[in-house]
């Protein structure tokens, strides 16, 4: 047998070899979906509009005719960008030209592109005290120093943000980015009110630090009113906005978009190159959004609200409020569970998964990678009401076992 070629000696200087030391969970094998699946933050299969998406694709293919044979526009299917522009004006009070919209492979690619455009090794990036693991991976890939800022029920605390910026400057580091999920923050489920959005934006503008606003699940709102985006409040162009159709239509399509000012969009387009998003995905989701999305969201959000309420009821019936708390989001896909510090949810997880109960512990969302084993994200979107009730009961029984009462 011939000796296998070793590519390690040929890696480029920009290859993120430091990521090999602790391989991110996002690149591990896809685990079998468990019966009581509180880990995956997307709707259950029965809530996905597969039939209407297929009808939408067939209809749009007939409309576009022979152009379906061409390579995609690197910026994305123009009718779709025009529709996004109209929707953002209506739902987020954003007056955006289609020329400032870039279709991406999910919102994650948009975040990654901004990070690549702005971050040098050793630069500082500010995030919430717990934040989506996929974003943390992108930031670590570029050797960023990541600072988590304390939050309350309204999200990131402005005074703590300013303190963190001053701390970064005292270390002679450049702060290149503030990453925010203002609506149904992942994983904590919090939503910034309008005053908090204005305060955070003002601090970013005064310090000259760009914002990335992640709006990935804001359309999954069951209660209350849609709030203006931070981008709509920004008259300086310092805010880049990313959105997604993935979770509210078909997650596997991975279709998102980025809204940015000319000065950053021009370099992002160069980084992205000529590779446009899959045309068939864009055709299908565009036509679905035109013909079916509003009705679909009404049905989807009704179902998600029921499941969220079932989750709250199950938590209330099984956990003592003296030692346990959970967030109460007005929408989204998850709640944030905080236990007494003596509870080790990581240790419990080893046994819960044998009983088909899965969840993500706080450590997976920790900006500095430190152990945060007494909190967890519980997704209510992927289980039936009965599965939520039964799964939370199983989890409660495990937590109440004496062997797990130690960190």
Inside any domain, residue 6: no
Pair (45, 82) in one structural domain: no
The predicted model gives 311-336 an average pLDDT of 93
Predicted pLDDT of residue 26 = 47
Q: What is the percent of the chain where pLDDT is above 70?
A: 94
User: Which H or E run contains 214?
Assistant: strand 211-214
- CATH (domain of 55): 3.40.640.10
pTM comes to: 0.92
The predicted model gives 194-215 an average pLDDT of 98
- CATH (domain of 392): 3.90.1150.10
CA-to-CA distance for 173 and 170, rounded, in angstroms?
8
pLDDT by residue (tens digit) across 256-289? 999 999 999 999 999 998 778 889 999 999 999 9
Pair (200, 270) in one structural domain: yes
Number of domains in the chain: 2
pLDDT by residue (tens digit) across 377-395? 999 999 999 999 999 999 9
In which band, very low, low, confident or very high, does the pLDDT at 214 lie, cut at 50, 70 and 90? very high
- Collapse the DSSP code of 253 into the 3-class scheme (helix H, G, I; strand E, B; otherwise coil) and give the result: helix
Pair (206, 142) in one structural domain: yes
- Residue ending a domain, choose from 251, 267, 291: 291
Q: What domain range includes position 55?
A: 51-291
Residue 119 in tokens: 């971050």
| pLDDT above 90 for 17 | no
Pair (44, 63) in one structural domain: no
Predicted pLDDT of residue 405 = 53
The predicted model gives 108-121 an average pLDDT of 95
Q: At what angle do helices 106-118 and 133-141 cross, to 10 degrees?
A: 30
256 has which bridge partners?
A: 104, 244
Spatial strand order of the sheet with 101-104 comes to: 101-104, 256-259, 239-244, 211-214, 175-180, 124-128, 145-149
Pair (41, 98) in one structural domain: no
- Collapse the DSSP code of 74 into the 3-class scheme (helix H, G, I; strand E, B; otherwise coil) and give the result: coil
The predicted model gives 118-131 an average pLDDT of 96
Q: What is the percent of the chain where pLDDT is above 90?
A: 78
In which band, very low, low, confident or very high, does the pLDDT at 22 lie, cut at 50, 70 and 90? low
Inside any domain, residue 142: yes
257 has which bridge partners?
A: 103, 243
Residue 312 in tokens: 């709250």
- Residue ending a domain, choose from 271, 291, 311: 291
Per-position DSSP letters for 145-213, written without gaps between them:
EEEEE-EETTEE-HHHHHHHHHHHHHTT--EEEEEE--SS-TTT-----HHHHHHHHHHHHHHT--EEE
Pair (184, 332) in one structural domain: no
In which band, very low, low, confident or very high, does the pLDDT at 407 lie, cut at 50, 70 and 90? very low
CA atoms within 13 A on the CB side of 299: 10
Pair (45, 55) in one structural domain: no
Mean pLDDT of the chain: 91
Inside any domain, residue 20: no
| pLDDT above 70 for 126 | yes
In which band, very low, low, confident or very high, does the pLDDT at 29 lie, cut at 50, 70 and 90? very low
Quick one: how far is CA 5 from the chain centroid?
38
The predicted model gives 7-33 an average pLDDT of 68
- Residue ending a domain, choose from 265, 291, 317: 291
The residues, ordered by sequence, that sit 6+ positions from 385 with a Cβ below 8 Å of its Cβ are 306, 307, 310
The predicted model gives 225-246 an average pLDDT of 96
Inside any domain, residue 208: yes
The residues, ordered by sequence, that sit 6+ positions from 233 with a Cβ below 8 Å of its Cβ are 197, 198, 201
22-31, 242-251, 335-344, 349-358: segment of lowest average pLDDT: 22-31
Pair (66, 182) in one structural domain: yes
Predicted pLDDT of residue 323 = 82
Inside any domain, residue 262: yes
């Amino acid at each position: 047998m011939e000796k296998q070629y070793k590519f390690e000696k040929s890696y480029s200087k920009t290859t993120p070899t430091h990521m090999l030391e602790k391989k991110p969970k996002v690149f591990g094998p896809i685990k079998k979906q468990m019966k009581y699946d509180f880990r995956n933050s997307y709707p259950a299969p029965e809530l996905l509009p597969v039939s209407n998406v297929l009808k939408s694709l067939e209809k749009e293919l007939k409309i576009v005719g022979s152009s379906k044979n061409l390579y995609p526009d690197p910026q994305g299917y123009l009718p779709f960008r025009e529709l996004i522009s109209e929707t953002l004006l209506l739902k987020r009070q954003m007056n955006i030209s289609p020329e400032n919209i870039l279709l991406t492979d999910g919102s994650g690619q948009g975040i990654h592109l901004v990070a690549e455009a702005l971050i040098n090794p050793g630069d500082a990036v500010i995030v919430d005290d717990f934040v989506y693991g996929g974003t943390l991976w992108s930031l670590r890939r570029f050797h960023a120093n990541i600072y988590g800022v304390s939050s309350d029920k309204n999200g990131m605390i402005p005074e703590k943000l300013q303190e963190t910026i001053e701390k970064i400057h005292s270390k002679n580091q450049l702060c290149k980015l503030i990453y925010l999920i203002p609506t149904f923050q992942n994983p904590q489920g919090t939503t910034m009110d309008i005053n908090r959005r204005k305060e955070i934006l003002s601090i970013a503008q005064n310090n000259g630090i760009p914002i990335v606003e992640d709006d990935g699940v804001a359309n999954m709102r069951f209660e209350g009113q849609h709030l203006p985006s931070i981008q709509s409040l920004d008259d300086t162009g310092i805010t880049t906005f990313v959105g997604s159709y993935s979770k509210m239509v078909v997650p596997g399509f991975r279709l998102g978009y980025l809204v940015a000012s000319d000065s950053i969009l021009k370099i992002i387009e160069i980084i992205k190159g000529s590779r446009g998003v899959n045309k068939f995905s864009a055709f299908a989701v565009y036509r679905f959004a035109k013909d079916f999305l509003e009705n679909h969201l009404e049905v989807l959000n009704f179902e998600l609200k029921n499941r969220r309420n079932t989750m709250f009821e199950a938590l209330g019936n099984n956990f003592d409020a003296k030692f346990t708390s959970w967030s109460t989001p007005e929408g989204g896909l998850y709640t944030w569970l905080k236990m007494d510090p003596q509870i080790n949810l990581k240790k419990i997880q080893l046994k819960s998964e044998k009983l088909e109960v899965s969840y993500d512990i706080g450590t997976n969302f920790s900006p500095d990678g430190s152990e945060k084993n007494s909190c967890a994200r519980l997704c209510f979107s992927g289980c039936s009401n009965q599965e939520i009730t039964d799964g939370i009961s199983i989890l409660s029984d495990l937590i109440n076992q004496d062997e797990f009462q130690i960190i």
